[in-house]
Amino acid sequence: MNGTRRWIGYVALTVVFALACGLLSWWQWSRRAEAVEAIELVEQNFDAAPVPLEAELPVLDDWSPSQEWQPVVMTGTYLVEDQLLVRNRPRNGGPGWEVLTPLRLDDGRVFVVDRGWLPLGSVDDVPDVVPAPPEGVVTVVARLKAGEPTLPGRSAPEGQISTIHLPQVADLVAGETWTGAYGLLESEDPAADSRPLPVVRPPADEGPHLSYAFQWIAFGVLAFVALFWGIRHERRARLEEERVAAGGEPAPERRRGRGGEDADAEDALLDAAGR
């Protein structure tokens, strides 16, 4: 009876483990689906023809995830005095800054343009050089990107921000400002003499989610294989005990020698050689 209860517990534990493996496999499938969706969105939007900003985002706080990476074109004047540096932005494993320069359009509204990335300077608080944007009226092509959430407890010196939280940026700029999305600079006309490093196309990498999903399924199956092996092994041991108790001879044990060779075969070879 105690053995039965014990194996019922083992079966229950195996079922729980297999269910957990199934949930983890499903989670990895979901992660892969998200990665595939992001890759398809890049392929669809990254090289699309630019559309007017006002047509793509007619409302200042409007945004749809399907608009990510869509190029938009606009004409205006950079507000250099309102330029901000975004702290702790990594690129190729190195820390640095992103440069946000608001662009005032002809109708007076403001769109935030991320002009690119700069590495850490000799003094950590600022880059060595922040390339100036073009002066006067400029036509800008930028790819749309959603704003970022706030980071509680994070602060930054004047002229810097810790995250691209567009309502916070809007509070620092005079005039109506788009808060649903900002733009990653693609081109400027006229072009500046130099500019921060531009955004790079996201790689089409699904990650290891598919292989992990199959691994979790395999772990769940192996749990039942181990359970059945344990049940079969214990049943054979119990039958052997009952046979011996009934007066039978114990079954000979197989001994394993070095290298995994059967010791009985080794003994037979020694006998044939006259030891």
pLDDT band at residue 37 using 50, 70 and 90 as cut-offs: confident
Q: Are residues 37 and 104 in the same domain?
A: no
- Judge whether 150 lies within some domain: yes
- Judge whether 253 lies within some domain: no
The overall pTM is greater than 0.85: no
Q: Are residues 87 and 27 in the same domain?
A: no
Q: Percent of the chain at pLDDT above 70?
A: 87
Query: For 102-123, what is the mean pLDDT?
Result: 92
- Judge whether 81 lies within some domain: yes
Angle between helix 2-45 and 209-245 (nearest 10): 170
- CATH code of the domain covering residue 177: 2.40.50
pLDDT computed for residue 253 by the predictor = 57
| Per-residue pLDDT reduced to its tens digit, 49-101 | 999 999 999 999 989 999 999 999 999 999 999 999 998 898 988 889 999 99
Q: Which residues contact 78 (CB under 8 A, 6 or more apart)?
A: 101, 102, 103, 104, 113, 133, 134, 135, 138
Q: Are residues 53 and 184 in the same domain?
A: yes
Instruction: Give the chain's domain count.
Output: 2
- Judge whether 66 lies within some domain: yes
Write the DSSP symbol of residue 126. S
Q: Are residues 38 and 63 in the same domain?
A: no
Question: In sequence order, what E strands does 13-155 have?
Answer: 51-52, 71-78, 84-86, 96-105, 110-119, 137-146
pLDDT of residue 261 exceeding 90: no
- Judge whether 56 lies within some domain: yes
Q: Are residues 7 and 106 in the same domain?
A: no
Q: Are residues 52 and 144 in the same domain?
A: yes
- Judge whether 37 lies within some domain: yes
Q: Are residues 3 and 63 in the same domain?
A: no
Q: Are residues 55 and 164 in the same domain?
A: yes
Domain containing 224 equals 1-46+204-246
Q: Are residues 221 and 181 in the same domain?
A: no
pLDDT of residue 26 exceeding 80: yes
Ordered alpha helix ranges (H), the chain: 2-45, 53-56, 166-172, 209-245, 263-272
